Amino acid sequence: MLKVAELFSGVGAQAKALERLQRDYGLEFEVVATSDIEKDAILSYAAIHCGLTSELVSCYPDYPSREEMATYLSSLNIGYDFKEGKPYDWAKLARRKGNAIEKYWLATYLSRQVGDVSKAPCLPKADLWTYSFPCTDISVAGLQSGLSAESGTRSSLVWQVGRLLKISEEKGELPKYLLMENVKNLVGTRFIKDFSLWVSTLEELGYKTYWQVLNAKDFGVPQNRERVFAISILKSENQMYEFPKGFPLEIRLKDILEHNVDEKYYLKDEYTEKLLEQINGKDVSNAVRGGGRGSTDRHSWDLVRE
* Known catalytic residue at 122: no
Nearest alpha-carbon partner for 185 in 241, 158, 225: 225
For 29, phi and psi rounded to 5 degrees?
-145, 160
For 234, phi and psi rounded to 5 degrees?
-55, 130
CA 143 – CA 74 distance, rounded (Å) = 28
Nearest alpha-carbon partner for 148 in 198, 77, 102: 198
The H-assigned helical ranges of 171-223 are 192-204
Q: Evaluate whether 49 touches 111 at the Cβ level (below 8 Å).
A: yes
No. of H helices and E strands in the chain? 12, 6
CA 170 – CA 154 distance, rounded (Å) = 26
Nearest alpha-carbon partner for 153 in 136, 130, 175, 178: 136
Candidate list 50, 59, 122, 135, residue with the active-site label: 135
Torsion angle defined by CA atoms of residues 221, 184, 204 and 3, in that order, rounded to the nearest 10 degrees: -30
What residues are annotated to the active site? 135
